[in-house]
Structure 1
């Protein structure tokens, strides 16, 4: 890591930590997913027919399998939306706040600045994944879902990976926020990704769609081949490259 990137990353992490938007998004992702999943699991365990009908195939499961399945299902949509909003803000706020013009006068290149933004988002996503997985583990223990075993640890590990992958597949939002010069295009793109993923899953092609494959893998590992899951890397790598290239060519007149 170059000195310029180290300095830029330090600044971006400080901005992220001080941001009310990022703090609120963190709470909404972690608390929202954990509380909703715990409530649905408790209701299904108690025999609530309306909740059971909404859970679909997961309703037949019980204990830890039910909880981790519900958490993964909610993370697939809610996590992607939350990470997309955060990434759109990290990149798009410079345009919305009018601070983008000042970046042209900095000794650090815009290419390095946006790489620092993307890295700060990744580090934050890892932290969110750790906290969310820990909260789910505690919630399951408090609900008395049973003793821990290898299957429980594996399911929690998949949840941890799913959370990080949800952050990575939100990468198109940063490119859209750059082209649209603000957070809103990025948020709209994130919503579009969720819709496309849902349609692909219903159509039976979700395993081959990188934005849908992580959720399918977490819910039904046997339905997603390693090669299909590996395709997920194409989204963050490709759109990060497009975003960096767009920032390198930014002009103030358009």
Structure 2
């Protein structure tokens, strides 16, 4: 079977599912509500794009973590919940390539959602009358948000491993709720640069990361990817 054919099948499965469109609906609602809240919280003097986008994306980036984690877990976990895992393994494609294709689909889907959330937030600001702001600044903060999203996507890989080990996507959802609570607590105590799931928000706020944060982030993401590939290579899917 042609490799592109298998990748095309993965993409079609995602697009045909209700989850694909529901994620756009849910993650599109967030920027609108946050944008309205930011504008209403400002004095009558108005708000400029620099303040609006900074506040919006600082709160929007963690929302993406929840969405990206659900997507990553669902792409793998649905094969077990829908009982399609045996059909998938019957295809004349190596297991490593199946995992790779799924990761590529997750990456494309999450990046598309990131661009979509920024566009919705920007459109909401324009409609609400946000003023000023140079095009160069808007472009630079968009790129930072996109890089932050990539970091968040990278640390969702442990959820893919958990989805495979537990053969579903409910356990990763429980994990992300715990992570969200821990993130809030650890950030309040100044440990945000050392907790994998808060490190991307540090980058969003400051535009840089120290070496220890980069190493923690790298180890977390690589461990999730390596564990997922190993599970598909050695575990018996029943």
What TM-score do the two structures reach when normalised by structure 1?
0.82
Q: Distance in 1 between matches of 2:220 and 2:37?
A: 32
Task: Name the structure 2 match of 1:18.
Answer: 16
Task: Name the structure 2 match of 1:51.
Answer: none
Count of equivalent residues: 236
The change in CA–CA distance for 1:248 and 1:153 in structure 2 (over 3 A counts) is: same
Aligned 8 A contact 2:31 2:60 in 1: no
For the aligned residue pairs, the C-alpha RMSD in angstroms reads 2.4
Aligned 8 A contact 2:58 2:201 in 1: yes
Which of 189, 213, 227 aligns to 2:175? It is: 189
Which of 124, 137, 142 aligns to 1:156? It is: 142
Q: SS of the residue aligned with 1:210?
A: coil
The change in CA–CA distance for 1:91 and 1:100 in structure 2 (over 3 A counts) is: same
Which of 192, 204, 212 aligns to 1:206? It is: 192
Task: Name the structure 2 match of 1:9.
Answer: 7
Equivalent runs, 1:84-95 vs 2, <5 Å? 84-95=69-80
The change in CA–CA distance for 1:33 and 1:165 in structure 2 (over 3 A counts) is: farther
Task: Name the structure 1 match of 2:103.
Answer: 118
Q: Say which structure, 1 or 2, has more relative contact order (CA 8 Å, 6+ apart).
A: 2
**Deviation of 1:230 (Å):** 6.2
The change in CA–CA distance for 1:11 and 1:202 in structure 2 (over 3 A counts) is: same
Q: SS of the residue aligned with 2:41?
A: helix
Q: SS of the residue aligned with 2:217?
A: helix
Which of 162, 165, 177 aligns to 1:176? It is: 162
Q: Distance in 1 between matches of 2:191 and 2:3?
A: 39
The change in CA–CA distance for 1:196 and 1:148 in structure 2 (over 3 A counts) is: same
The change in CA–CA distance for 1:5 and 1:238 in structure 2 (over 3 A counts) is: farther
Q: Distance in 2 between matches of 1:196 and 1:205?
A: 10
Q: SS of the residue aligned with 2:235?
A: coil
* Long gaps (5+) in structure 1: 48-60
Which of 126, 148, 153 aligns to 1:141? It is: 126
* Long gaps (5+) in structure 2: none
**Deviation of 1:206 (Å):** 0.9
Aligned 8 A contact 2:114 2:146 in 1: yes
Task: Name the structure 1 match of 2:213.
Answer: 228
Q: Distance in 2 between matches of 1:237 and 1:227?
A: 15
**Deviation of 1:229 (Å):** 4.3
